[in-house]
Amino acid sequence: MPQIRQADGHAGGTTLMALPAPRTPSPPPREAPGLHWGVIGPGRIAASFVQALRAHTEQRVVPVGSRDAERARAFADRFGIPSAYGSYAEVLDDAWVDIVYIASPHSEHYTHALMAIEAGKHVLVEKAFTRDAGEAEQLIEAAHKQGVFCMEAMWTRFLPHMDVVRQVLDLGLLGEVRTVTADHGQFMSPDKDHRLFAPELAGGALLDLGVYPVSFVAMVLGPFASLAAVGDMTHTGVDGQVSVVVTNAAGAHGVLNTTLHGRTPTTASISGTRARLEIEGDFYTPSTVRLIGRTNELLGLVVPAQRKGGLCYEAAEAARCVAAGKLESELMPLDETLRIMRALDQIRSDILRDVPECLSLPR
């Protein structure tokens, strides 16, 4: 086995010599320019985001907004946020706010992000970016027109172990990539009141869970040349399980699955003619990466130094881009977000072909 060495402090942990050390974060999240953030939607993901900012960055959340003023105040008190508003408009009217984190259900992303953009605010929009590609295209056009930064909060793209993946691909360590796999399944009790089972909230496995493997495969393979999907529906009429096969222009395959019906390994792999790369579950969080040779020998290993607070990396990237006057991130460019949304539309078209009433999500 290759000798193990200790990588630089913020570079991501213990590294075997055969694998490159992560280059991100560079600089570390705490060194990113500090912005004043507004939060729309004080739910679970917003709580994780604010906790990550407080623990690992110099970013500051100044107001939080909700349709329920008491809910906003409870969230503000919990995290020491100075202002709590009972409307989203008040967040956008706050002169302190540089950038708005859209953390509402993805059924509302388009409306809330467009409000922020038209108010001249930069935006970080939770995944899935919107309900469909049409909404995504309109948001992107609005951001370009207003000259504000806009990015999908696909936090996985900004984690250090994903930089290892990108370097391995760039260096050709795997040879010719032939197969990419990724899955994300969670057991969700079939409760019609849960947002993932609610058609009016754009529920289903695909937009909430499946967006992770779709985005990962898109990062590795690039634009899809072909796509075929199968799936089934829940009792409420949203997608419960989806399996997809895609190809790229070089003929490499991507195989992915998502489900609400059971906990899957949530792993990912990239197999090439020389070696394969394996990412432990949950692959979309800070995870261990292994480089495996043709005879199944371990060639390299990267273990994350930081397991929690991973949302700090996307916030730091947004802050660096805004401070530099950039309107989008090179790590999660808007044209790729749009391609992914179009792929999600095509997947839904495939699996819902026989259920036409589900094709149009509630507006």
Give 158-206 as a DSSP string: GSHHHHHHHHHHHHTTT-SEEEEEEEEE-B----TTSGGG-GGGT-SHI
The confidence score (pLDDT) of residue 22 equals 81
Report residue 279's pLDDT band, with 50, 70 and 90 as the boundaries: very high
With beta carbons less than 8 A apart as the criterion, state whether 110 and 130 touch. Answer: yes
More confident residue, 16 or 195: 195
Report residue 352's pLDDT band, with 50, 70 and 90 as the boundaries: confident
The confidence score (pLDDT) of residue 18 equals 67
Report residue 80's pLDDT band, with 50, 70 and 90 as the boundaries: very high
Q: Which of 58-67, 258-267, 351-360 has the lowest mean pLDDT?
A: 351-360
The mean of the pLDDT values for the chain is 91
Across the range 77-106, mean pLDDT stands at 97
Looking at domain 157-307+331-358, which CATH architecture does it have? 2-Layer Sandwich (3.30)
Q: Which of 22-36, 62-76, 218-232, 304-318 has the lowest mean pLDDT?
A: 22-36
Report residue 354's pLDDT band, with 50, 70 and 90 as the boundaries: low
More confident residue, 304 or 204: 204
Domains 32-155 and 157-307+331-358 share a fold: no
Read off φ and ψ for residue 192, nearest 5 degrees: -65, -20
The confidence score (pLDDT) of residue 163 equals 94
Cα–Cα distance for residue pair 70/61, rounded to 1 Å? 18
Residue 224 has pLDDT above 80, yes or no: yes
The superfamily CATH assigns to domain 32-155 is NAD(P)-binding Rossmann-like Domain (3.40.50.720)
Cα–Cα distance for residue pair 131/128, rounded to 1 Å? 7
Residue 26's contacts (CB-CB under 8 Å, 6 or more residues apart) are none
Across the range 309-331, mean pLDDT stands at 97
Across the range 94-109, mean pLDDT stands at 96
Token reading at 243: 């399996």
Report residue 130's pLDDT band, with 50, 70 and 90 as the boundaries: very high
The confidence score (pLDDT) of residue 7 equals 35
Across the range 9-27, mean pLDDT stands at 59
User: Among residues of the chain, what percentage have pLDDT more than 70?
Assistant: 91
The confidence score (pLDDT) of residue 21 equals 78
Q: Which of 13-27, 129-143, 292-306 has the lowest mean pLDDT?
A: 13-27
326 is catalytic: no
**Domain assignments of the chain as residue spans, ordered by start:** 32-155, 157-307+331-358
Report residue 26's pLDDT band, with 50, 70 and 90 as the boundaries: low
Residue 13 has pLDDT above 70, yes or no: no
Across the range 318-326, mean pLDDT stands at 98
Residue 2 has pLDDT above 80, yes or no: no
- pTM score over 0.85: yes
Cα–Cα distance for residue pair 125/106, rounded to 1 Å? 9
Residue 88 has pLDDT above 50, yes or no: yes
Residue 138 has pLDDT above 70, yes or no: yes
Nearest to 326 by CA among 137, 148, 95, 68: 148
Q: Give 284-351 as a 3 state SS string.
A: CCCCCEEEEECCCCEEEEECCCCCCCCCHHHHHHHHHHHHCCCCCCCCCCHHHHHHHHHHHHHHHHHH
More confident residue, 236 or 306: 236
- Which of 127, 145, 192, 326 is catalytic? The answer is 127
Q: Which of 6-20, 39-53, 348-362 has the lowest mean pLDDT?
A: 6-20
